[in-house]
Structure 1
């Protein structure tokens, strides 16, 4: 197939409507995702090479290092992580001797860092803090404080985003599906 044939074939499948514009360079959700994905991927690479654990494992270790104890459900909720990912990390970290599980009241499984887990947390925290410092290099103290305040404000808006998303799922956007198609 020649380039002209490919172009002609492709153009026959183009929609008769144009995509709405989206300025990705100024779209806050896209920027947050890009920064997070790149920062997390690089962190995961470093943590795997240095400590033989990944980024999800680090998030569980960090949670327990800060909160001192918690359940898988609490971690999933607080961290915004999928319960299955949290469970996999817990299993990995238990197998490696970094966390311990207790069931003091017969129902709730409480997780804590072991002595070895605290050592892992302390070592990983030093790397995490150094990486965070580099991420914010070039920011003044005022800019850092403003960024943190704005991100905390965004975080407080998440319940409203969830409500809006639920409504959109239920009702759908007013102009979807395109005319001629049924819902």
Structure 2
């Protein structure tokens, strides 16, 4: 069971609500699990210390480990590569930037190179077909998909809390999903 703690306060300059501390109830935790399963076809295992393992319905896995202010992704979901993801968000959870790096060679990866890493393995399973992504238009780019799914996580309170308290894990799940769409 994942328990999130946050509190709410109001920004005096903008009158916007700032989320800082509360508790996700068992019902909300079940809602988050349902969101992840329905939207991304994954279940999530909490490994502690902001580390998670994302389990896909086809048996593949993606491990997300927090390393300082970055997140390392590894596993057969990304063709057994180790990719570091750096995500920068505003205080309100809005996406500012997303960067990928090949952790072994310490070289920067473009979003297209990340997409290729995911698809190298996935193409052997789907024989070059597009992965079914019902909420994403076929002409949408990786960036369009990522921003859309990032924002959509805040359609529900549990999704929004998860995204804002575990941005690296949320970004990894969305990036792996959007790379196939």
Normalising by structure 2, what TM-score? Answer: 0.27
Structure (1 or 2) with the larger CA radius of gyration? 1
**Which has the larger share of helix?**
1
Normalising by structure 1, what TM-score? Answer: 0.27
